[in-house]
Amino acid sequence: MEHLSFDLSQRPLRELNQMLHTDAEAGKVSKVTVNNPDGAHNIAVGLNCPVEVEVIGHAGYYVGGMNKSATITVTGSAGTGAAENMMSGKVHIKGFASNGAGASAHGGLLVIDGDAGLRCGISLKGGDIVVGGSVGSFSAFMAQAGRMVICGDAGDALGDSLYEAVIYVKGHIKSLGADAQLEPMTEADYAAVADLLRQSGPAFAAHDPHDFKRVASARTLYHWNADADQDY
């Protein structure tokens, strides 16, 4: 299988994605290095094979979106919706990620070395997200399943309307959203955090799982309460 280099300053993005959906899925290509991305949107979206894609530089919106099986690395930062609706595989952003990183991810692992913007992990449906820095407000909003590990701080309304997803935070939480609450860490939680940190790389593995706090749902929003008078 080939290792290809693709220069987006010389060739169109459509050609790159078409090749990833044909030659890579056919097993003809094992790795693609993307040079000069220059913040292009929709790089390596909808991949459906275990190809390795390395983006040398900054990516725009939705890099690695709808990923299945591929390993995608961005050596710079990423715009809105990185790894949005990911099914499996791994997306690693070595810089910062903008709003909505990992939105609706059903599976796979999203690693962000730096900070993440607003609504990281919104509507998470089963994927894992590990953030080396801090996350913005309303992260894990309506997160239904999956896990988030935040090595820095969390903004306002963390885990608002949380369902069965679990959030682990090392730093300061500015505020919890509706129905989110702090819970005691268990040995299973420490083991889960240690495993996710290990999968994310040596810099993450240096964190002590015992420094993290657990945030989960109080489950008061699971059923409509007519007497609550909208006060939850």
The fraction of the chain above a pLDDT of 70, given in percent, is 96
Which contacts qualify for 127-132: CB closer than 8 Å, 24 or more apart?
Answer: 127/83, 127/86, 127/102, 128/196, 129/101, 129/102, 129/105, 130/196, 130/197, 130/199, 130/200, 130/204, 132/200, 132/203, 132/204
- Contact between 69 and 47 under an 8 Å Cβ cutoff? The reply is yes
Q: What is the pLDDT of residues 23-81, one digit of tens each?
A: 999 999 999 999 999 999 999 999 999 999 999 999 999 999 999 999 999 999 999 99
Kindly state the average pLDDT of the residues 141-156: 98
- Contact between 215 and 181 under an 8 Å Cβ cutoff? The reply is yes
Q: Given this model, what pLDDT does residue 149 score?
A: 99
For residue 121, is pLDDT > 70? yes
Q: What is the pLDDT of residues 171-189, one digit of tens each?
A: 999 999 999 999 999 999 9
- Contact between 110 and 132 under an 8 Å Cβ cutoff? The reply is no
